[in-house]
Amino acid sequence: MTATPLADVASEADRVLALAGEAGARTRLIGGVAIAKHLHLKLPEPLRRTYADIDLVVHHGEDRALRAALEAGGYVPNVAFNSLRGDRRLLYYDQANGRQLDVFVGTFSMCHVLELDDRLALDPATLSPADLLLTKLQVVEVNRKDQTDALAIVLAHELAEERSGDVIGIDRIVSVTGHDWGWYTTANDNLTALRVVADELLQDDARTLALERIDRITEEIAAAPKSIGWMARSKLGRRMRWYELPEEVRHGG
């Protein structure tokens, strides 16, 4: 296999997964490229976008194998960042194509923590649709790119129990938000905002379908049983910050 990253980002994502698999590192795509692999219909024009970088999650304990595979495959590590934070996150650069490759180790930890080690077997190439949606719903300072990605997932998948297959596993979303008041609050805020964006960007059947699914997710997470920890944290409400603000490190460190 070539040691030079490919110019086409989707083809390069497939190459990276193959490198990881050969190295024995359980690795899955997240982010925009992963979402593109789950689009089963032609998206409305306002939701279409290009993808610049590649994002991955690797199983805890298998990141060393992935590091070696990436470096053999033409990626340059951010040595300082990886030395300080390599137990949870790694950064690499595809200098030929001006791209960044971001690796999360076992968890997706940004504004909230999403545990993923036991979720990597659900899809051969990416996170599950529910987990992909959760990575977007956890963003406190949400931007239009995150919102269009979230709408793309919602439009492309039915809501059902996760065992049903390639669906948004409503049971997974309820489980995450029902155990953590902060997670619930951020997700609920983003669903409210997403409804407004769907109404602005979409038309006709696409708008109706997106709004119905957003409303159902909102209703399901509100009605679901909550943990004792959730109930205790809810008493403090928004008087205490319930999220972290992630550090962004772009090309060149």
Residue 251 predicted with pLDDT over 90: no
Sign of the Cα pseudo-torsion (235, 169, 62, 55, in order): negative
Q: Does 246 map to a domain? A: no
Q: Which pLDDT does position 197 carry in this prediction?
A: 97
Q: Does 251 map to a domain? A: no
**91 lies in which domain range?**
9-239
Per residue in 140-187, pLDDT (tens digit) is 999 999 999 999 999 999 999 998 888 999 999 999 999 999 999 999
Q: Does 103 map to a domain? A: yes
Select from 114, 78, 80, 109 the least CA-distant residue to 93. 78
Which residue shows structure tokens 């997240």? 30
Q: What's the predicted TM-score (pTM) here?
A: 0.94
Cα-based torsion angle of the residue sequence 47, 53, 56, 61 in order, rounded to the nearest 10 degrees = -160
Q: What is the largest CA-CA distance in the chain?
A: 56
Q: Tell me the percentage of the chain whose pLDDT exceeds 70.
A: 97
Q: Total structural domains in the chain? A: 1
Q: Tell me the percentage of the chain whose pLDDT exceeds 90.
A: 88
Q: Does 86 map to a domain? A: yes
Q: Does 132 map to a domain? A: yes
Q: Does 245 map to a domain? A: no
Higher-scoring residue by pLDDT: 168, 252: 168
Q: Does 252 map to a domain? A: no
Sign of the Cα pseudo-torsion (174, 177, 181, 184, in order): negative
Per residue in 109-120, pLDDT (tens digit) is 999 999 999 999
Q: Strands of the chain (E only): list them.
A: 27-30, 54-58, 76-77, 89-94, 99-105, 107-109, 113-115, 159-160, 168-169
Q: Which pLDDT does position 39 carry in this prediction?
A: 85
Q: Does 142 map to a domain? A: yes
Q: Which pLDDT does position 253 carry in this prediction?
A: 44
- Average pLDDT over the chain reads 94
- Distance, in Å, from the CA atom of 158 to the CA atom of 216, rounded to the nearest integer, reads 11
> What phi and psi values does residue 148 have, to the nearest 5 degrees?
-70, -35
Domain containing residue 151: CATH number: 3.30.460.40
Give the count of beta carbons closer than 10 Å to the beta carbon of residue 156. Answer: 17
- Distance, in Å, from the CA atom of 115 to the CA atom of 229, rounded to the nearest integer, reads 17
- Distance, in Å, from the CA atom of 151 to the CA atom of 156, rounded to the nearest integer, reads 8
> In terms of residues, how long is the chain?
253
